[in-house]
Amino acid sequence: MTTLTKPRIQSVDLLKGLVMVIMALDHTRDYFHYSAHFFDPTDPMQSTLPIFFTRWITNFCAPGFSFLAGLSAFMVGKRKTQNELSGFLLKRGLWLVFIEIAVVSFGWRFDTNYTMIGLQTIWSLGVSMIVLAALIHLPKKIILAFSCILIFGHNLLDTIHFPGNFFWSMLHERNRFEWIPGHFVGTAYPLIPWIAVMSLGYCFGSLFDSSFDSVKRKKILNGLGSGALILFITLIVINKYGDPVRWTNYGDFSKTLMSILNTTKYPPSLLFLLMTLGGTLLFLANAEGLKGKIVDYFCTFGRVPFFFYIIHIYFIHFLALFAAEFTGYGWQKMILIKSVTKVEELKGYGFNLIIVYLVWIAVILLLYPLCKKFDRYKQAHKEKWYLSYL
């Protein structure tokens, strides 16, 4: 049984680690690429294929990690009663919401006034866990149906708007609100689709049980992953439903390809989720049994994703302070009251894509020893309850 369980857990850790490392590329690009201050990297009319795919590949991170969080919740539940798991998810969800507001928002901007609070990835994970804490008391089939209905049907809500309504924006529309004079909150990750992605991951947890046949699991994951991508292609061809923005034929291969792949992330459209979760399932199906130093390297990040997420934001932002100072813009420009890419004074700052990739690699290499040390500490002190929140 031990030999069966290890690769399954390792495949999940491997994917988590890859997600973390790829995600760091996107954040490095935000703070170091010169074009980040001039145009959206996914804009077919202004972007290039290297810039576009540097951004596009990172689209797999948020859906993959949200799905894996649900799957991991199922695995945690095998060691707890249903009520214990529900309580754990509730407390961890509240903890993540607090971390997003108090710690992550500051890391992005270094603004002690908290002029802007972004409700982003960690927020969506936290609220999704709170909802999952209630959902796990329902039969698995109902949870699965709930997840699929939201994922496949939420784009029917695209034409519904309630201007100035924070609750609706929190659920399904990216927006920004002034909650007290001079202070804003942004609903960067509307919740409806993300809740469904996590609960869907929870439903897949039973496939990773040690008693589940590995050949059957691989067949199921390959079938569902391939099916998701086939449906993605079908809906792309039809070009009628699945994304609020229809792709455009520009008469140019590169621009048209970017338009097709530039699916909506905020909130994640059906096409976005079919594309990213399809790839996630295919990876999980075929990553079992992978071994070697490279696999172990990425698994280290995957076993401490929360720790890595927090420190990489602060580390990248600190590096950007020095970069702004040494390139003549002044470190003060990196004390932000808005997204770094929206700062007019930073237009002209930044480096080419090769430098961005070199900085990204340096970030990963420099943070690895810290993650390795923390991973060893977690493995050696599993009895410490607070480590399950880190």
DSSP H helical ranges for 239-352: 253-261, 270-286, 293-303, 305-326
Within 10 Å of residue 90's Cβ, how many Cβ atoms?
16
- Whole-number mean pLDDT of the chain? 95
Q: Residue 5: pLDDT band by 50, 70, 90 thresholds?
A: very low
**pLDDT computed for residue 1 by the predictor:** 32
**pLDDT computed for residue 6 by the predictor:** 45
Could you give the percent of the chain with pLDDT greater than 70?
98
Type of residue found at 202: Y
> What average pLDDT does range 324-335 have in this prediction?
96
> What average pLDDT does range 7-22 have in this prediction?
87
> What average pLDDT does range 27-44 have in this prediction?
94
Q: Residue 317: pLDDT band by 50, 70, 90 thresholds?
A: very high
Helices 293-303, 305-326: axis angle to 10 degrees equals 90
**pLDDT computed for residue 127 by the predictor:** 98
> What average pLDDT does range 126-155 have in this prediction?
98
* pLDDT tens digits for range 263-280: 999 999 999 999 999 999
Please state, in angstroms and rounded to a whole number, the distance separating the CA atoms of residues 76 and 82: 10
Q: Residue 384: pLDDT band by 50, 70, 90 thresholds?
A: confident
Number of structural domains found in the chain: 1
- The CA-to-CA distance between both ends of the chain, in Å, stands at 28
> What average pLDDT does range 26-33 have in this prediction?
97
In 3D, which of 216, 224, 215, 258 has the Cα closest to residue 67?
224
Half-sphere CA count of 166, side-chain side, radius 13 A: 8
Q: Any idea of the CA torsion for 58, 339, 164, 42, to the nearest 10 degrees?
A: -40
Between 269 and 8, the higher pLDDT residue: 269
CA distances to 24, 79, 136, 332 from 87, rounded to whole Å, are 31, 13, 11, 43
On the question of pLDDT at 7 being above 60, the answer is: no
DSSP H helical ranges for the chain: 2-32, 49-56, 61-77, 82-99, 105-109, 121-135, 140-153, 166-172, 191-204, 214-238, 253-261, 270-286, 293-303, 305-326, 353-380
CA distances to 29, 182, 307 from 111, rounded to whole Å, are 21, 13, 22
**pLDDT computed for residue 388 by the predictor:** 82
Please state, in angstroms and rounded to a whole number, the distance separating the CA atoms of residues 96 and 77: 19
Instruction: Put residue 182 in one of left, alpha, beta given phi > 0 → left and psi -120 to 50 → alpha.
Output: left
Residue located via tokens 């496949």? 152
On the question of pLDDT at 229 being above 80, the answer is: yes
* pLDDT tens digits for range 358-371: 999 999 999 999 99
**pLDDT computed for residue 320 by the predictor:** 98
Lowest mean pLDDT across 33-47, 187-201, 263-277: 33-47
Q: Residue 219: pLDDT band by 50, 70, 90 thresholds?
A: very high
* Structure tokens belonging to residue 48: 């290039």
Q: Residue 84: pLDDT band by 50, 70, 90 thresholds?
A: very high
On the question of pLDDT at 336 being above 70, the answer is: yes
Largest CA distance in the chain: 61
Domain region containing 97: 2-389
**pLDDT computed for residue 210 by the predictor:** 85
> What average pLDDT does range 131-144 have in this prediction?
98
Q: Which residues share a beta bridge with 309?
A: none
- Please return the burial class of 351, using the count of CB atoms within 10 Å of its CB with bins 0-12, 13-18 and 19+: middle
Peptide bond into 44 cis (omega under 30): no
**pLDDT computed for residue 3 by the predictor:** 36
Lowest mean pLDDT across 204-213, 249-258, 270-279: 204-213
On the question of pLDDT at 357 being above 60, the answer is: yes
On the question of pLDDT at 150 being above 70, the answer is: yes
**pLDDT computed for residue 8 by the predictor:** 46
On the question of pLDDT at 389 being above 90, the answer is: no
**pLDDT computed for residue 12 by the predictor:** 93
